[in-house]
Amino acid sequence: MKLYPDSKVYIFCPANIQTGGPESLHQLASVLISLGVQAYMLYYDSKEEPVHDAYKKYHVPYTSKLEDNQQNVLISPETNTTHLYAFKKVRRVIWWMSIDNYLQNISLVIDECLQAPLSKPIRKYFTFQNTDKKIEHWGQSEYVCQFLKLNGVANVKTVETHMSQIFLSRASQIDLSMKKNIVAFNPNKGFKITQYLMKFAPNMDWRPIQNMTPAQVQELLAQAKVYIDFGEFPGRERLPREAILSGCVVITGKRGAAANDIDINIPDEFKFILEKF
């Protein structure tokens, strides 16, 4: 997408929420600013203080108003595409980071209508049946790009999320000889399967990744020998990549992005089809 000297880039983001998506949106804004672009966060569901403490380190300015002209660009995550239709002239981009979140958002819009069909019009959102040719599409993973192409979006640009330089610097210093017999896992991802495995290896040191700072997660992965993740993989997940860089053996299912060798590049014998779960 072409930018002009006076172009401004606005990035839609939910206010005061700490998850992988908002983290990536703030990272994008930070990179754009470092390249000399005028970039702003445009928070929705805004509160008194919309910037989560975890993202203040990026020093990204935010605004509540968008200048709706053709020089400017509006980037929205797939989680809330309804905002794209509130403006007439600004050039629009959907940055697809998760398929599941997009589909869940559509279901919320429909459920809202079902509860009171005559209360208000259905909120407009991006649909593939009436593809808006003026919207540009970015895919964060190979899995997402395949989904978009399957649904008729031919020109998809790949824009991946990146690892922080602090993490990469620390990961390069890990001493693999100091690894311990620890299996790290995310209890929010495929925990039913993890519980099943824990019953067969109760003496293993199982460590959940929860309620941790990024530094604490990195410290755990630096010690662990194995990281398992049997979640849905709606996009290119961050934790498995961090585990690989930390020298862990990574074991996953074959769901979503984990099914291909681009998004999760580990030997196929470490990926399992989990039909019974």
Residues 150 and 180 grouped into a single domain: no
Do residues 120 and 171 both lie within one domain? no
Where is the domain boundary, 142, 158, 174? Answer: 158
What total of structural domains would you count in the chain? Answer: 2
Q: Tell me the residue range of the domain where 143 lies.
A: 8-158
Pair 148, 187 in one domain: no
Indicate whether 259 belongs to any domain. Answer: yes
Tokens for 177, please give them: 């000889």
The residue among 158, 179, 202 that closes a domain is: 158
The CATH number assigned to the domain holding 151 equals: 3.40.50
Residue 122: per-residue pLDDT: 87
Question: Which H or E element spans position 222?
Answer: helix 214-223
Q: How far apart are CA 228 and CA 224, in angstroms?
A: 11
Last residue of a domain, one of 99, 128, 158: 158
- In this structure, the answer to whether residues 100 and 191 fall within a common structural domain is no
Residues 133 and 18 in one domain: yes
Q: Could you tell me if 99 and 171 lie in one domain?
A: no
Q: Are residues 145 and 234 in the same domain?
A: no
What pLDDT, on the 0 to 100 scale, is given for residue 167?
84
152 and 113 within one domain? yes
Q: Residue 60: what pLDDT? A: 96
Rounded to two decimals, the pTM is 0.87
Residue 277 is assigned to a structural domain of this protein: no
CATH number at residue 174: 3.40.50.2000
| Pair (31, 147) in one structural domain | yes
Helix axes 142-150, 99-115, angle to 10 degrees: 50
| Beta-carbon count within 10 A of 213 CB | 9
Residue 264 lies in a domain: yes
Q: In terms of Cα–Cα distance, which of 179, 169, 139, 131 is closest to 260?
A: 139
15 and 74 housed in the same domain: yes
Transcribe 136-166 into DSSP letters: EEEESSHHHHHHHHHTT---EEE------HH
Regarding whether 154 and 172 lie in a shared domain, the answer is no
Question: What is the reported pLDDT for 182?
Answer: 97
At residue 73, what is the residue type? V
**Tens digit of pLDDT at every position of the chain (277 positions):** 889 999 999 999 999 988 889 999 999 999 999 999 999 999 988 777 899 998 999 999 999 999 999 999 999 999 989 889 999 999 999 999 999 889 998 898 889 899 999 998 888 889 887 667 789 999 999 999 999 999 999 889 999 888 877 888 888 999 999 999 999 999 988 888 999 999 999 999 999 999 998 889 999 999 999 999 999 998 888 899 999 999 999 999 999 999 999 999 999 999 998 766 5
pLDDT score of 164: 76
Could you tell me if residue 3 is inside a domain? no
- 184 in Cβ contact with 243 (< 8 Å): yes
Domain assignment present for residue 2? The answer is: no
Q: Are 69 and 141 within one domain?
A: yes
Task: Give pLDDT, residue 131.
Answer: 64
* Residue 28 placed within a domain: yes
- Evaluate whether residue 242 is within a structural domain: yes
- Is 60 inside a domain boundary? yes
